[in-house]
């Protein structure tokens, strides 16, 4: 029995372009490039497979794309639409298997457990995910799935076949299975590292895979090289962090804040404080939960998975979503208008080097960072109306100046 397939990595193919084609059937089967704005002086942030066939890819200038692929259509990026589909995709995947972490707007990873670690079961799950995405999200949306003994190789496996791939890398095939990959196909080998590898006489993957741990550490100039040594051998370094690591803050509300709006303001303040501690500890967060206790002992708890994040806007956006589900009445119909305590938990924390695994300095990493920047820009905009976190109806009269919020640092 093969027992080494511990992770399933899922990457949506040409995500932004596919969403556009899903949303607008007239674009299906056609060369399409998604651009930040409709001008010649920008570049594609995504290209449909029909455009990729002409060599157009992420980063291709609009005027070059037009020459390479006459008739290509440019679509201005619609981030709200991509986020909407992102949530639908998460829901669809979670109906098949729990998601361990969302790496970016179009990438997520799931830990396989027990019998799921066999090729047979893992393949069934992968096929079920593909079928569920087609059925519940859209027939145009395809994904590439990778199965492997660790997170790193699962991502490499997913990259091996696009679009609509399903690839497994087994422990016993390592590292020979990786010998045919160009150096730059390894996540974590960008321009700089490639240059240093070549200087060290490493001009193909076979030589790369034969390097000692010490030699890798030297090329990378950091512990990252040692991680790389372990990852390409199928060693799962993921046990080093776990669900047990968390950052939490709670606060008993002073009497003047015992309203739904008051509680939401305190929750935001706690959120800022927790996010600050997270960044200081060089950790990234994958799950947020909030807890509100009301007079009469009613307690509300809500949580969600999120893209690995450190930034306030993403947290505030997530908090807003969780808060929007705060019920107005308890099971007996009593009004829930007297909260007395609020707590925030950041859980499923990832050390910086694990986070970097998906975002390190290569073309793919850059692409992901660009996407993140775009999403952050959107969250930034969203934060402008964040003042109205609590239910609009109640929010009206007693606005409290932010500066009047009690100092929570004493805790």
- Please report whether residue 20 would count as binding Mg ion according to CB under 5 A: no
Q: Which is nearer to Mg ion, 260 or 371 (CB)?
A: 371
Question: Considering CB under 5 A, how many residues would be counted as binding Mg ion?
Answer: 4
What is the x/- site pattern for Mg ion, positions 366-385, by CB under 5 A?
--------------------
DSSP letter string, 186-222: STT--HHHHHHHHHTT--SHHHHHH--HHHHHHHHTS
Residue 5: partners with Cβ closer than 8 Å, 6 or more residues away: 112, 116, 117, 118, 119, 122, 147, 148, 149, 168, 170
Catalytic residue among 20, 107, 111, 261: 107
Give least dist CB 7 to Mg ion, A: 17
- Please report whether residue 106 would count as binding Mg ion according to CB under 5 A: yes
Q: Where are the alpha helices (DSSP H) in 161-311?
A: 191-199, 205-210, 213-220, 224-231, 260-280
Q: Which stretch binds Mg ion (CB under 5 A): 15-23, 77-85, 264-272, 348-356?
A: 15-23
Three-state DSSP state, 350: strand
Q: Which is nearer to Mg ion, 15 or 379 (CB)?
A: 15
CA-nearest of 271, 355, 283, 342 to 313 is 271
Q: Which stretch binds Mg ion (CB under 5 A): 44-52, 98-106, 180-188, 301-309?
A: 98-106
Give least dist CB 10 to Mg ion, A: 9
Q: Which is nearer to Mg ion, 11 or 238 (CB)?
A: 11
- Please report whether residue 159 would count as binding Mg ion according to CB under 5 A: no
Give least dist CB 46 to Mg ion, A: 9
Give least dist CB 187 to Mg ion, A: 13
Is 107 designated active site? yes
Whether residue 12 contacts residue 143, with contact meaning beta carbons closer than 8 Å, is answered with yes
CA angle 190, 192, 196 (to 5 degrees): 115
Give least dist CB 323 to Mg ion, A: 31
Q: Which is nearer to Mg ion, 155 or 260 (CB)?
A: 155
Q: Which stretch binds Mg ion (CB under 5 A): 99-107, 263-271, 316-324, 335-343?
A: 99-107
Three-state DSSP state, 38: coil
- CA dist., res. 305 & res. 110, Å (int): 12
CA dihedral of 277, 282, 283, 288, whole degrees rounded to 10: 30
Query: Inter-axis angle of helices 312-323 and 260-280, to 10 degrees?
Result: 150
CA-nearest of 166, 145, 140 to 50 is 140
Q: Which stretch binds Mg ion (CB under 5 A): 64-72, 87-95, 104-112, 359-367?
A: 104-112
* Residue choice 11, 236, 308, 354 for contact with Mg ion (CB under 5 A): 11
Query: Which residues does the annotation mark as catalytic?
Result: 107
List of residues contacting Mg ion (CB under 5 A): 11-12, 15, 106
């Amino acid at each position: 029995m093969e027992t080494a397939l511990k992770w399933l990595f899922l990457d949506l193919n040409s995500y932004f372009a596919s969403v556009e084609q899903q949303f607008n059937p007239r674009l299906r089967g056609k060369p399409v490039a998604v651009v930040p704005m409709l001008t010649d002086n920008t570049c594609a942030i995504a290209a449909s497979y029909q455009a990729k066939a002409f060599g157009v890819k992420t980063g291709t200038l609009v005027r070059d794309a037009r020459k390479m692929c006459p008739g290509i259509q440019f679509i201005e990026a619609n981030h709200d639409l991509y986020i909407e589909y992102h949530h639908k995709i998460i829901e669809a995947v979670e109906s098949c298997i729990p998601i361990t972490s969302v790496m970016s707007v179009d990438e997520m990873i799931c830990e396989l457990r027990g019998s799921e670690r066999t090729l047979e079961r893992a393949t069934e799950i992968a096929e079920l995910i593909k079928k569920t995405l087609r059925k519940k999200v859209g027939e145009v949306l395809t994904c590439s799935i990778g199965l492997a003994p660790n997170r790193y190789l699962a991502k490499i496996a997913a990259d091996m076949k696009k679009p609509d791939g399903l690839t497994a890398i087994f422990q016993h095939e390592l590292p020979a299975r990786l010998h045919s990959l160009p150096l730059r196909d390894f996540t974590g080998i960008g321009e700089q590292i490639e240059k240093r590898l070549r200087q060290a006489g490493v001009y193909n993957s076979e030589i790369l895979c034969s390097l000692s741990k010490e030699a890798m550490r030297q090329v990378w100039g950091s512990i990252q090289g040692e991680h790389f040594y372990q990852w390409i051998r199928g060693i799962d370094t993921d046990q080093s962090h776990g669900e047990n690591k968390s950052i939490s803050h709670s606060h008993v509300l002073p009497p003047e804040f015992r309203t739904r709006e008051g509680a939401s303001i305190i929750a935001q303040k706690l959120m800022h404080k927790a996010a600050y501690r997270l960044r200081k500890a060089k950790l990234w967060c994958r799950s947020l939960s909030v807890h509100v206790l009301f007079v009469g002992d009613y307690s509300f708890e809500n949580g969600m998975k999120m893209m690995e994040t450190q930034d306030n806007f993403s947290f505030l956006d997530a908090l807003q979503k969780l808060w929007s589900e705060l019920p107005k009445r308890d099971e007996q119909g009593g009004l829930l208008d007297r909260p007395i305590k609020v707590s925030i938990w950041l859980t499923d924390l990832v050390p910086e080097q694990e986070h970097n695994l998906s975002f390190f300095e290569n073309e793919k990493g850059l692409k992901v960072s660009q996407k993140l920047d775009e999403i952050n820009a959107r969250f930034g905009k969203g934060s402008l109306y964040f003042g109205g976190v609590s239910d609009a109806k109640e929010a009206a009269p007693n606005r409290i100046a932010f500066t009047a919020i009690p100092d929570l640092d004493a805790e």
